[in-house]
Structure 1
Amino acid sequence: MSEPSLPPRLPEKPTRRTGLITGIVIAAVVVIVAVVLIVVNVAKPKADDAASGGASGAAASKPQTVSIGVTDASQPYWKIYSDLAKKKYNVTVKLVNFSDYSQPNPALRQKQLDLNEFQHIEYLADYNNTSGDDLQPIGPTAIYPLPLYSTKYKTPSELPADAPVAIPNDAINEARGLLVLQSAGLLELKDGGSPFSTVNDITSSKIKVTALDAAQTARALQSGSVEAAIVNKNYATDAKLPNTDIIAKDDPSDPSAQPYVNVFVARAADKDNKLYQELAALYLDPSVEKSVQDVNGGSAVFSDLSAKELQTLLAKTQEQEKAAKG
């Protein structure tokens, strides 16, 4: 006699422990997927950054080094500036210091530098016209007064007759120095002078003007070979000439002084590079500006001209110089 058949056996109902493990596994998978998506999105460079050649308002997607030619690399504001560039844009600033004004522009043209910052618009205009180059300003720094220093006399009128006075011999700073001497009552220039005057335009003088390399005028003053000297701000700072030795200077806040605004300069192909423009703007950060003013006794007049405005000013100044020189 056959045994009665048993009813089919149903699958066992999952226990509470099995369901809990399954839930944990699913949750873990969801978390891992979410983390991967976040990492991919963060690491993915923005299209704008790739198109502009750099980051905008945030750290660059990868570390970069930007070389900047200067003539005052030892000054404390460059350390502040470099730290900000690293923190804000992930850029390591490589400062390349030059001993005189004739070197940074050719170095930029030859791609030994990415940018330079040492000159004003008038100087750049003269360089472009003379060399046939087309370097372009991409951001302003400040206008500095051009001072006449003396370690012996307190006013220009105290200088003895035919006293030797040194001025820079580069075309633009020579003209500006002559205008300072004229405003101090020490000489007169043909037709009242211009930003393009030379020593040949002196029509009368109470002093003996000696034109030297801009890097040498402070040394000539300190050695006693001249009684007074026009000294550009970076060389005066390096020579530790005190502001109390300034006996005359021009007015950087005068609208006519605008072409003397110092600028960051790039090759024409890089004039719209967004990262370079942001690095130029970083010089106007309050912490950098404060350090610059501390070094210069509060005499700097900072500028807010845009890159386009500076480029328009440069083009106008170049045309004026061409017309002045015939």
Structure 2
Amino acid sequence: MKFQKIIGGLAAVSLSATTLVACGADGGGEPGEGGPIRIGSTDTNMREWDVFADLAEEEGIDIEIVDFSDYNTPNDALAQDQIDVNKFQHLQFLSEYNVGSNADLTPISATEIYPLALFWQGHDSLDGIEGEEIAIPNDSTNQGRAINVLVQAGLVTLREDGLINPTPADIDEEASDVTVTPVDAAQTAAVYQEGNPAVINNSFLERAGIDPKEAIFQDDPSNEEAEPYINVWVTTPDNADNEEIHRLAELWKDPAVEEAVLESSGGTAVPVDRSQEELQEILDRLESEAQ
């Protein structure tokens, strides 16, 4: 059998030796030598993973997909050789992990960007939004990006141009057309449903019944300010040149997988093609600014 999916609930709770056995992961050696390549993610219930697994089987690559229930554990598991590669995060998240954990996990291939968008119930453009109070996510990963969405929309001016992760304190309120109010990311949809404009994470749109196409503005994936939010395949430096891992990353770009990703994202995911060297340069810049 070429494909096995492991529900890694135990791995999300404890990175103990017992968990290693439970996940069927034997440390040591090159990935794929004498066992499957172990891939960690947090969204393995999505159809694209089944499409991807079928392609890997056709290629004769033995894989084991390990599902994690939280966002920090897949990087911990990778750093501790419980898995060989993971695919669940963007470069900004990876940079924060590496700096906070003194780790050196490395991106090897880009996948897609999920644009972050501004919504305003009953409106289909930015017309009339001047003077409004806009809710934005207050978590460290998305707050700065949300502010830059408003910068790109011409609604907010920063005291210093080009900040990758600005905070509300960086906003020049007198020069801006709107004000911002940080709230819990899960509450942004509720603010929108009350009739107020809000920047809402892609993951909260479906559960709130909000059509992504109703966005009145979203960040441009080709803009430099969006680079930190490129989603990536990530591995350790020792495996950064592993041919089978790179082949798996290439399979994710297969049209059948990309079609499934687009369907799962409600039409919002945008495929990204950046070289391994470009991704590392972006990561290095993000880590430098975070230190």
Same fold (TM over 0.5): yes
2:233 to 235, 243, 264: 264
Deviation at 1:165, TM superposition (A): 0.8
1:303 to 272, 275, 282: 272
Q: Is the alpha carbon distance of 1:103 and 1:198 closer, same or farther for their aligned partners in structure 2, counting shifts above 3 Å?
A: farther
Q: Is the alpha carbon distance of 1:123 and 1:306 closer, same or farther for their aligned partners in structure 2, counting shifts above 3 Å?
A: same
1:66-125 CA distance string (max 9 Å, x none)? 23223x3332212211222233234244241435x4443334334444322222223322
- Structure 2 residue 113 is matched with structure 1 residue 143: yes
Q: Which residue of 1 aligns with 2:251?
A: 282
- 8 Å contact 2:136–2:143 — kept in the other structure? no
Deviation at 1:268, TM superposition (A): 2.8
TM-score normalized with structure 2 length:
0.74
Q: Is the alpha carbon distance of 1:82 and 1:225 closer, same or farther for their aligned partners in structure 2, counting shifts above 3 Å?
A: farther
Q: Sequence identity of aligned pairs in percent?
A: 31
Matched residue SS, 2:157? strand
Specify every segment of 5 or more residues in structure 2 that has no aligned partner in the other structure, as ranges. Answer: 1-28
- 8 Å contact 2:189–2:205 — kept in the other structure? no
Q: Tell me, in whole angstroms, the C-alpha distance in 1 between the residues paired with 2:49 and 2:187.
A: 24
Specify every segment of 5 or more residues in structure 1 that has no aligned partner in the other structure, as ranges. Answer: 1-50, 56-61
- 8 Å contact 2:32–2:62 — kept in the other structure? no
Deviation at 1:158, TM superposition (A): 4.0
Structure 1 or 2, whichever has the larger Rg, is 1
Q: Which residue of 1 aligns with 2:41?
A: 69
2:91 to 118, 121, 128: 121
Q: Which residue of 1 aligns with 2:179?
A: 207
Q: Tell me, in whole angstroms, the C-alpha distance in 1 between the residues paired with 2:235 and 2:58.
A: 23
Matched residue SS, 1:191? coil
Q: Which residue of 2 aligns with 1:85?
A: 56
Q: Is the alpha carbon distance of 1:281 and 1:267 closer, same or farther for their aligned partners in structure 2, counting shifts above 3 Å?
A: same
Matched residue SS, 1:139? strand
**Aligned-residue CA RMSD in angstroms?**
3.1
- 8 Å contact 1:53–1:274 — kept in the other structure? no
Deviation at 1:299, TM superposition (A): 4.5
Deviation at 1:187, TM superposition (A): 2.8
Query: 1:92-107 alignment to 2 at 5 Å?
Result: 92-99=63-70, 101-107=71-77
The residue identity in structure 2 corresponding to 1:128 is N
- Structure 2 residue 233 is matched with structure 1 residue 254: no
Q: Tell me, in whole angstroms, the C-alpha distance in 2 between the residues paired with 1:226 and 1:95.
A: 40
- Structure 2 residue 123 is matched with structure 1 residue 153: yes
- Structure 2 residue 25 is matched with structure 1 residue 54: no
- Structure 2 residue 101 is matched with structure 1 residue 131: yes
- Structure 2 residue 163 is matched with structure 1 residue 194: yes
1:241-295 CA distance string (max 9 Å, x none)? 3123211111112355344321011133322222222222211111111222334
Matched residue SS, 2:107? strand
- 8 Å contact 1:86–1:93 — kept in the other structure? no
1:2-54 CA distance string (max 9 Å, x none)? xxxxxxxxxxxxxxxxxxxxxxxxxxxxxxxxxxxxxxxxxxxxxxxxx9643
| Count of aligned pairs between the two proteins | 260
Q: Tell me, in whole angstroms, the C-alpha distance in 2 between the residues paired with 1:209 and 1:238.
A: 22
Query: Which has the larger helix fraction?
Result: 1
Q: 161-170 vs 133-142, which deviates more?
A: 161-170
Q: Which residue of 1 aligns with 2:210?
A: 241
Q: Tell me, in whole angstroms, the C-alpha distance in 2 between the residues paired with 1:68 and 1:87.
A: 20
The residue identity in structure 2 corresponding to 1:82 is A
- 8 Å contact 1:156–1:248 — kept in the other structure? yes
2:242 to 269, 273, 285: 273
Deviation at 1:180, TM superposition (A): 0.7
Matched residue SS, 2:252? helix
1:154-199 CA distance string (max 9 Å, x none)? 334445845351325124x221110112233433221235112112
TM-score normalized with structure 1 length:
0.67
- Structure 2 residue 197 is matched with structure 1 residue 228: yes
Matched residue SS, 2:45? coil
Q: Is the alpha carbon distance of 1:67 and 1:152 closer, same or farther for their aligned partners in structure 2, counting shifts above 3 Å?
A: same
